[in-house]
Amino acid sequence: MKSTVILRCERSEPRRMQGWSGLRTQRAAAKAGYPLTHPSPSGRGLLVLLLASAALLLITPARADEAFITSQPAEMLSIVDLPTGKVVASLPIPGKPAGIAVDPAGRRAFVTSPDGKALTIIDAATRTVERRVDVGGGPLGVAVHPSGSPAYVADWYRHKIVAVDAASGTITGEVAVGDSPSGLAVTPDGALLLSADRDSDQVSLIDTASLARVATVKVGARPFGVTIDAEGTRAYTANVASDDVSIIDIPARTVVGTVKVGQRPYAVALAQGRAFVTDQYASTVTVFDTATLARLAAIPVGDYPEGIAASRDGTRVYVANWESNTLSVIDSASLKVIADIEVADGPRAFGAFIRRTDP
């Protein structure tokens, strides 16, 4: 796949603005396999081969995974091969794509386009658009059920979540939540959907079987991203206006901790017993210990860090820097940036953007 450059056509009628400039302008925004070639005929050789294969199976998944990065102004999905740090495919997605969710099997990716009022469903392996679903309103956050369907889409303007069948693209249901739902996450057992209701300062808990809201939990001010741990017991919200992270005990439906982070936090990733939080205004990733809640570091990254996700083995954390047009790679042990990967203009990658590539 070659990368694609697109030209965005914009309305050319001049507008007269009072105040600052009075100028009328128009802008043309151009803007592994490992071959085992020496199998031994002996039993011992076969054992070695089997052990080697098992070791590869353990090592290979995280190494070969991909990142699906939405670039909002570029209207592009950049697919990054994580072992090599190379953009291996670029897929144009109209309507200012922002939210992303890849299903746990790595089969499909779901991308929201708030300006296009659409959800794009992508075959992740072939990098082709399967369908584009008109969901209306302002689709932003998106999450997918662990089974691979449905996808849940948060409507920022109409304050509800719609469920979309992954295979058919049919809207199968909806549920009203608080104001301007943004981040979504589903528990690993698939039973509960959590919605960060940004302008209601709360998280809604939704029973996925009945698509009914069963609880709300008050959190800090303007929660945006929400992330659930691997056990499905705790959720972490990044609260944009109170500059902190709320930690929710999901079974108890209560906040059990609050941690101060950098200015304008956006989203949270979890790896190796640590939480990694993108601080949009501070241009840092704040790290804290999820057991002690002690702050461990503020790692400088690019400007406007937004989407963040951990590799499946937890050794790396990936950060989309909206202003700097890079994907920063953090070593989650040393807490240092070890690489910056250039991606298309304005990477947002709001959601679960890591795709597993092994079957």
Partner 1 sequence: MEFKLLTAAVAAATLAVTVVGAQAHGPTRQKVSEKIEINAPPEKVWAVVSNFQDGGWIPVVAKTEGTGGNAAGAKRTLTLKNGATVEEEVAKLEPEKMTLMYRIDKVDVAVLPVTNYSSWLVVTPTEGGAKSQVEWRGAFYRGYPNNDPPPELDDQAAINAVTGLYKAGLDGLKKKIEGGS
Name the residues that contact partner 1, by CB under 8 A.
Answer: 10-11, 14-15, 17-27, 29, 72-73, 96, 98, 114-115, 137-138, 140, 156-157, 180, 199, 221-222, 240-241, 264, 281, 283, 303-304, 322-323, 345-346
Cis bond before residue 150 (omega within 30° of 0): yes
**174/303 with CB nearer partner 1:** 303
Closer to partner 1 at the Cβ: 140 or 327? 140
Sheet holding 76-81, edge to edge: 86-92, 76-81, 66-71, 354-355
Between 72 and 187, CB nearer to partner 1: 72
Taking alpha carbons only, the member of 171, 176, 280 closest to residue 225 is 280
Alpha helices in 65-196 (DSSP H): none
CB of 245 to partner 1, least distance (A): 15
For the bound state, the minimum distance from the C-beta of residue 20 to partner 1, rounded and expressed in Å, comes to 5
Could you write out the three-class secondary structure of 84-113?
CCEEEEEEECCCCCCEEEECCCCCEEEEEE
Instruction: Select 116 or 150, whichever has its Cβ closest to partner 1.
Output: 116
Quickly list H helices, the chain. 43-64
Structure-block tokens of residue 330: 């953090």
To partner 1, the closest distance from the beta carbon of 311 in angstroms equals: 27
Which CB, 106 or 262, lies closer to partner 1? 262
R_g (Cα) of the chain, nearest Å: 21
Closest CA to 356 of 27, 13, 61: 61
Min. distance of Cβ 184 from partner 1 in angstroms?
Answer: 14
* Minimum distance, C-beta of residue 96 to partner 1, in the bound complex (Å): 5
Cβ nearer to partner 1, comparing 21 with 292: 21
CB of 235 to partner 1, least distance (A): 21
Instruction: Give CA separation, 184 vs 120, 200, 240, 307, in Å.
Output: 17, 15, 16, 13
> Residue 163 Cβ, how far from partner 1 at the closest point, in Å?
20
Q: Which is nearer to partner 1, 150 or 220 (CB)?
A: 220
Minimum distance of partner 1 from residue 88's CB (angstroms)? 25
Q: Residue 137: name the closest of 167, 116, 152 by CA.
A: 116
**Rounded CA gap, 157 and 35, in Å?**
52
3-class secondary-structure state, position 59: helix
A 10 A CB-CB count for 356 gives 18
When the beta carbons of 72 and 202 are compared against partner 1, the nearer one is 72
Q: CA-CA-CA-CA torsion for 35, 38, 39, 44, nearest 10 degrees? A: -120
